[in-house]
Amino acid sequence: MADPNVPFRVLPQLTDRNRAFWTGGSAGELRFLRCDACGYFVHPPAPVCPHDGGRALTWTAVSGRARVATFTVNHQAWMPGPPLPYVVAIVEIDEQASLRLMTNVVGCAPDAVRIGMPVRVVFEHHPDPEGDVWLPLFQPDAAREG
């Protein structure tokens, strides 16, 4: 039985390249592919480091802390999804400048979201016959406010 508190989502098609990202939430981890040699996080995942050309990369958990780089409060029902209005944001992951995710900011009123606001990851679990997915959403990180 689907959790009535979890909105309908079009889920990502899992592949060998992206599975570790979309299932990291099963272990409570936000993971990115990281170059073994230079430590650069590669996102979206690709089997080469654009920084030093390294071909050895390892899925690595980050802290899950980020800041809102920009956002929008969406009022339009484009398709089935979260209740309106909802916040779509691009967040920048603390561990690396310009390491970004498009996501939703949840756990606060849409009009409370600000550019630069500290947030932390929270996972939304979606059971799926082709393999469960944990979407990384972000909520205000009250401990780091101000």
Partner 1 sequence: MGRDFFERRACITGIGQSDVGRRLGRDPLALTLDACLAAIADAGLTTRDIDGLSTYPGLGMGMPPGFTGAGAVDLHDALRLELDWYDSGLETSGQLGSVVKAAMAVATGLATHVLCFRSVWEGSAQGGAGRKGIGAGVPKAVGSMEWSIPFAAASAAVWIAMYAQLHFHRYGTTREQLAWIALNARRNAARNPQAIYRDPMTLDDYLGARIISTPFCLYDCDVPCDGATAVIVSARERAGDLRRAPIGIEAVGTALRGRPSWDQFEDLTQMANRDAARHLWSRTDLKPSDVDVAEIYDGFSYLTMSWLEALGFCPIGESGRFVDGGARIALDGELPLNTHGGQLSAGRLHGYGFLHEACVQLWGEGGARQVPGGPQVAAVAAGGGNTCGCLLLTRA
User: At its nearest, how many Å lie between partner 1 and the CB of residue 146?
Assistant: 18
DSSP classification of residue 73? E
Binding mask 19-38 for partner 1 (x = CB under 8 A): --------------------
H or E segment to which residue 19 belongs: helix 19-23
Tell me the C-alpha distance between 25 and 143, whole Å. Answer: 22
Q: Is 100 in the site for partner 1 (CB under 8 A)?
A: yes
Establish whether the linkage from the previous residue to 82 is cis, with ω within 30° of 0.
no
Our CB check for partner 1 shows the closer of 33 and 89 to be: 89
Instruction: Pick the piece of the chain touching partner 1 (CB under 8 A) from 27-35, 55-63, 72-80.
Output: 72-80
DSSP state of 115: T
104 binds partner 1 (CB under 8 A): yes
Residues in the chain: 146
Options 23-31, 32-40, 56-64, 67-75: segment touching partner 1 (CB under 8 A): 67-75
From residue 40, alpha-carbon distances to 26, 33, 35 in Å are 24, 8, 5
Select from 23-31, 32-40, 52-60, 100-108 the region that touches partner 1 (CB under 8 A): 100-108
Tell me which amino acid residue 36 is: D
What is d(CA 121, CA 28) in angstroms, rounded to the nearest whole number? 9
Catalog residues that contact partner 1 under the rule CB under 8 A: 7, 9-13, 18, 43-44, 69-79, 81-82, 86, 88-90, 98, 100-104, 115, 130, 133, 135, 137
